[in-house]
Every structure is written in C-alpha cells, then in structure tokens.
Structure 1
Amino acid sequence: MRSRQKIIDATLELIGSGGFDAASIVAVAGAADVSRQTVYSIFGTREQLISDAVADLVRTVFDEMRDVHPTHPGPAGELVAVIVRGRAVVHAHPVLAVLQGSSGQNPLLDAGMVDRARPVAREMLAPMALRHPELSDRWDDIVDIALAAGLFAVFFESPDRADDDLAAFLMRWIGPAMSLWGTSQRN
C-alpha cells in the first residue's frame, strides 16, 4: 500500500512539472524509488497508472468542490455551483491544469474516460443526491449532465469568463432540464 502511494505521488509530481509525457513508467519508478516491475504489478499499464493518479488527486480536492454556495436555487443551482467551482479548482492546481493542455497527449481523454469518470462524479455529487432524493430516478442523467457540462467548463470554456457569467449560462441549460423532471415521467 505504501509503494502504491509513493508511485501515485511521484506520478503527480512528474505530470505537474513536465506534463503527461514526463510520467513514463521508468521516470515514475525512479522518482518513487521502486522498480518498474513494482509499478507494472500495481497498475498494469501507464494509462491505468495515470488514470488512478489523477482520480486520487481529484478525490483529494473534493472538499474544495463540495464546499460551494449556490447562487441559484434548487438542485440545478447546486449542480452548476459544483461545475463552476470544479473549473476554478482545475485551473488553479498545477497537475489538473495539465489536463487542459492542447498537445493531444492527454491519455485521460480516451474512449473509456467517461466510463471511468462516472464513479468519481457519483462520489463527488453524493451529498447533493442525499439532499434531493426526489431526483433519485434521474441520478444517472444528472451524473452524465454534470460530466458533460463539467468537461465543457474545464476544457472548452475560456478561463477568463467570469464565474457568475458561466453559472448563469449553465443555469439556462441545466435549470429547465432538471425542473421538467419533477413533473414528467422518465422516458
């Protein structure tokens, strides 16, 4: 267990200082002071290592993302507040900021990325789910909307756009969808 954390820490340090390309198995093993075989035996592949390292980091910043104060009412306002706060956290953290790189070398943005992100999003949004049990039958949709809007906010939205402006835009999109769920049947 200790080796796993040393490897994760070394991976994140390498990504933060040199991008994804710097986090090779050889470099990570050297930085963690373990053998390459140890890295492979714990993580299997470089892609899994990087995915696990970033997921571990995301879990550590959940407290920052959960401590939001919505400026708009209801569950849509809460979801928008989490997305806007998430963008700020990603832009502020050196390792997470690497995710925004346009180099095309981001191994997290592959075909399985959304499937890996769903459990992390569920965990992050769990407090909201507890506060709004009336939305339990739509929770899969809410998680997918959070991922789509969150990815948009982090990767495609300008970091210069004011948080209030981004929140208002997201509310115009997310608010009506979520308000309909209270009065309509699931398709």
Structure 2
Amino acid sequence: MATAAPTPTTRGLGKRQAILDAAAELFADEGYARASIDAIAARAGVSKPTVYSHFGNKEQLFRESLAESARQINEQSYAAAIALDVGPGWEESLHEVAVELVECQRSSCASSLQRQLYAEINRDPEVFTIVRSRGAQPMIEALAGRLAMLANAGYLEIDDPQLAAKQFFALIGAEMPELTRLGTDRGEDRVVRASVQAGVHAFLRAYRA
C-alpha cells in the first residue's frame, strides 16, 4: 500500500519540531548567547530563513524551545497526576504519584531546563511564565482536580485545590535541591524516596479529613 505524501502542513510541523529539537540541544550545550541561528538551522537541516519564518527571532525560539522541553519532560508527571486513585486506595496511590512526580525532577533533561532558566531569567523574565504555563501548570491543574475529588469524597479537607496541589509539589520536592545537588546528581534512590514519603505525610497531616 502506497504511503500518502506529506501535506504542506505536516511538512511544516516536521520542520518546526526539527528546529525545536536542534535548538534544545544547542541552547543546553552552549547557552543562549553562544548558540547561533546558523548552527541551529544547520543541525535541524533547514535554512536560516525557515527558522525565522517559524519563530521570528532567537529570543522567541529560546522561549519556545524551553516551553516544549518542559512539556515533554512533564508528560509522565501529568499522566501520573490524572491517574491518582480517588477511591478507597487513594492514600497508597498518592504516595506512588508523589514518587513519579519527583522522578521527573531527577532527569538530566529537567536539570538542563532548570539551569537554562536560572541562567536567562534575568535577561528575559517572560521565559519563566511561558515555561510554567506549558509544563508545570497543566500538572498542577490535573492534580488539583484529583485532590478536589478526594475532598468531595470526604477523604481530605481542602478549600483551595490549586493551593493544595502547589503545596503538595513543594512538600514532596522540598529536599530535592540538596539531595540532587541542584540537579547535577540524581541522588540516592532510598534517600530520595524517604524524603518524598515524608513530604506526603506532611501533606496528609495538613489536609486529611
């Protein structure tokens, strides 16, 4: 069976993703200042004008590159959040979800993203808002929805599910900067897991019905 030829739209999307992938690699390796549009275009296998036609300028490409990296990194965490059991097994499930969420923070890609944010946020404060909206915010909203369901079922007492979700993330990741040496090391599995579970227990002491 013959394969259908790609449409102009799918070809355009393919080029856009190739540019984002190339940009993510070069920005991570060389930093914003040293990574050039010429080098990104060459790695992506497109022309320099094609890069500009998709993203306008280097700053917007950097923003979109980090936002896409954040989205990809957090896909697993988002899936874990929406899979939280809201039935009788909710407490065990909450512990499992916490481990999954922190595992995302321990990846090399997440560490690279964090380093780039720290390095460039003073130059371009807007990059934080864009990355958060594409990466963390969908996770927070997903978890907030599940926590609200647990509250409606009488397992938790929560007035503000969004705030509770943010506090959950903060508690389970409270020691991660220290245990992972600011994202330069994965940390010892046993110690990380114990820290995560301590965060869950602190959350339950605050919100258990």
| TM-score, normalization by structure 1 | 0.63
- Find out whether 1:166 has 2:189 as its counterpart: no
- Find out whether 1:115 has 2:120 as its counterpart: no
Structure 2 CA distance for partners of 1:144 and 1:51, relative to 1, 3 Å: farther
* Counterpart amino acid of residue 116 in structure 1: I
Query: What percent identity do the matched residue pairs reach?
Result: 22
Where 2:119 maps in the other structure, the secondary structure is coil
What 5-or-longer segments of structure 2 have no aligned partner? 1-11, 85-89, 152-157
User: C-alpha separation between the residues in 1 aligned to 2:159 and 2:180?
Assistant: 26
The 8 Å contact of residues 84 and 163 in structure 1, kept in 2 or not, is answered as no
2:166 equivalent in structure 1: 143
User: C-alpha separation between the residues in 1 aligned to 2:16 and 2:25?
Assistant: 14
Q: How many residues align?
A: 176
What 5-or-longer segments of structure 1 have no aligned partner? none
User: C-alpha separation between the residues in 2 aligned to 1:37 and 1:105?
Assistant: 29
User: C-alpha separation between the residues in 2 aligned to 1:169 and 1:125?
Assistant: 20
Structure 2 CA distance for partners of 1:97 and 1:169, relative to 1, 3 Å: closer
Give the one of 15, 20, 29 matched to 1:8.
20
1:85 equivalent in structure 2: 103
Query: How many Å apart are 1:76 and its aligned residue?
Result: 6.0
* Counterpart amino acid of residue 147 in structure 2: H
1:129 equivalent in structure 2: 144
- Find out whether 1:176 has 2:202 as its counterpart: yes
* Counterpart amino acid of residue 160 in structure 2: D
Query: How many Å apart are 1:162 and its aligned residue?
Result: 1.8
1:54 equivalent in structure 2: 66
| TM-score, normalization by structure 2 | 0.58
- Find out whether 1:19 has 2:45 as its counterpart: no
Deviation >4 Å, runs of 4+? 67-70
Query: How many Å apart are 1:143 and its aligned residue?
Result: 3.4
Q: CA RMSD in A?
A: 4.2
Structure possessing the higher relative contact order (Cα contacts under 8 Å, 6 or more residues apart): 1
Query: How many Å apart are 1:57 and its aligned residue?
Result: 2.9
Structure 2 CA distance for partners of 1:78 and 1:167, relative to 1, 3 Å: same
User: C-alpha separation between the residues in 2 aligned to 1:28 and 1:7?
Assistant: 7
The 8 Å contact of residues 16 and 54 in structure 2, kept in 1 or not, is answered as yes
* Counterpart amino acid of residue 73 in structure 1: E
Structure 2 CA distance for partners of 1:86 and 1:157, relative to 1, 3 Å: same
